[in-house]
Amino acid sequence: MDNCLFCKIIAGEIPSTKVYEDDAVFAFRDINPQAPVHILVVPKQHICCADAVDAGNSACVARCFEAIAKIAKAEGLENGYRVINNCGADGGQTVMHLHFHILGGVKFSDKMI
Ligand code: 5GP
Ligand code: ZN
């Protein structure tokens, strides 16, 4: 997808600190970390947002969550972590390529739900 920041990161056109990659998933450290561990997990397939997930592309969401479990183990997050997806303007999404935030390395006290 032209002019998509995360597609360019996946392609290596924009540098990132990669922590995991397989045929379907790319993961890298967030440039503005909100926790000691803050990793973005993205499908290599360009999907704009959670709202665009359907029966034809949902397999890559499962692949993202398989990667999340592997990354969490590799990062030593055995006490737990938070996975966040922001969807659309009201959800606070700023990069329109589906991604999941892994936040960990600290015990979160504030809960939204
Ligand atoms: P969103 O707000 O869309 O859920 O999350 C986008 C995330 O991408 C933000 O946490 C932001 O810090 C991160 N981000 C934006 N631009 C870059 C970049 O160029 N490199 C990296 N590694 N992260 C970025
Ligand atoms: Zn993209």
Residue-wise pLDDT for 76-109, tens only, equals: 999 999 999 999 999 999 999 999 999 999 999 8
Residue 69, amino acid: A
pLDDT category at 2 given cuts 50, 70, 90 is confident
> What residues form DSSP beta bridges with 43?
25
Amino acid 110: pLDDT: 83
pLDDT tens, 29-75? Answer: 999 999 999 999 999 999 999 999 999 999 999 999 999 999 999 99
Q: Which residues surround ligand 2, an ion (CB under 5 A)?
A: 1, 4, 6-7, 46, 97
Q: 101 an active-site residue? A: no
Atom 13 (ligand 1) nearest CA: 30
**Using CA atoms, how far apart are residues 97 and 6, in angstroms rounded to an integer?**
6
Structure tokens at 14: 């924009």
Q: Is any ligand 1 atom within 6 A of the Cβ of residue 94?
A: yes
β-bridge pairing 100-104 and 25-29: unpaired
Given a contact cutoff of 8 angstroms between Cβ atoms, the answer to whether 47 and 7 are in contact is: no
How many A from CA of 8 to the centre of ligand 1?
Answer: 13
Give pLDDT, residue 112: 83
